[in-house]
Amino acid sequence: MGLLKRHHRRSLLQAPFPKEWEAILSRDVPYLQRFNDVDAQRLRDTIQIIVDEKFWEGCGGLQIDDQIRVVIAAQAAIMLLRLESTDYLHHVRTFLIYPGPYQQTQERVGSDGLVHSGTANLGEAWYNGPVVLSWPDALAASKSPGQGRNVVMHELAHSIDMLTGSVNGTPLLRNKSDYSAWQEVMGRTFQELREKTALGQPDVLRPYALTNAAEFFAVSTECFFDAPATLRSGHPEAYAQFTRFWGWDPANPASLHPE
């Protein structure tokens, strides 16, 4: 990180957190009430940096305001709480926000072998490009955590996966020695989910996780943060791997302490 950016961030964080933003967090991001004062301040610092450094563009007639910026940045901040190597998602420069599900114009070949276009999306993440989100769905997930689904966290998980230069469901782990256990556990969990789904048995991870390894990582990530106790109960080994990677245990945020 350059000297000018470091100086700018330091100046930015010297200003008090806006009272209007505090009201938005209190109303729309109940998840933040779980943290102690030290980590709550850390999250607010991250929110300020993300709001300041990203370009926010409304699409489909949507007008961007502070509520949109703060609610989305807050969900990103939760993910980055102990993941500083991302430098506040430096490779994501733009958030494109729609007033609802939007039509994807890019053609794709489906499992039926046919070319499909114009599918409705809630979000997507582009390699070295923008993150695209449906605002009502981003807000609904923020206001009602615990469902195991969160479009902001899902798409940002893809962006974090992309930091390795590919999108394969294995992010940049903390140590080289972590990769063997990660791939063994995630591969086994993926296969267990495939077998349960084939038998029609329910699981905390929705079947979309079986699309590929990248979607498995993204679906597991949104569940890890949004319904951590449920994921821990259903897939304890995978949960332990995620706890190591993300650097904290969202099922027990009280265990966090200043580094």
Contacts of 113 (CB under 8 A, 6+ apart): none
Q: Rounded CA gap, 182 and 237, in Å?
A: 10
For position 86, what pLDDT does the model report? 86
pLDDT over 80 (residue 180): yes
Domain ranges of the chain: 16-255
Residues 94, 155, 84, CA angle at the centre, nearest 5°? 75
- pLDDT for 196 equals 96
In 3D space, the residue among 14, 145, 9, 162 whose CA is nearest the CA of residue 78 turns out to be: 145
Q: How many CB atoms lie within 10 A of CB 233?
A: 12
Q: How far is CA 239 from CA 3, 85, 152, 167, 247, in A?
A: 38, 21, 20, 20, 12
8 Å CB contact between 217 and 190? no
The pLDDT of residue 133 is 97
Under 8 Å between Cβ of 189 and 109: no
According to the model, what pLDDT value does residue 109 have? Answer: 45
Single-letter amino acid code for the residue at 9? R
**16-255: CATH number:** 3.40.390.10
C-alpha 174/C-alpha 11 separation (Å) is 30
Which of 181, 4, 179, 155 is CA-nearest to residue 92?
A: 155
255 band by pLDDT with thresholds 50, 70 and 90: low
Q: Are 218 and 154 in contact (CB under 8 A)?
A: yes
Instruction: Tell me if 242 sits within 8 A of 227, measured CB to CB.
Output: no
Amino acid letter, residue 41: Q
Q: Give the tokens for residue 171.
A: 């992010």
Q: How far apart are CA 25 and CA 46, in angstroms?
A: 13
Residue 119's DSSP bridge partners are 104
Bridging pattern class, strands 94-98 and 108-109: unpaired
**pLDDT value, residue 85:** 78
The answer for residues whose C-beta is within 8 angstroms of residue 155's C-beta and 6 or more apart is: 123, 124, 125, 131, 132, 133, 218
Instruction: For 98-141, write each residue's pLDDT tens digit.
Output: 999 987 655 554 444 444 455 678 899 998 889 999 999 999 99
Is 50 in contact with 76 (CB distance < 8 Å)?
yes
pLDDT band at 1 (very low <50, low <70, confident <90, very high): low
Q: What angle do CA 204, 207, 211 make, to 5 degrees?
A: 130
15-33 tens-digit pLDDT: 999 999 999 999 999 999 8
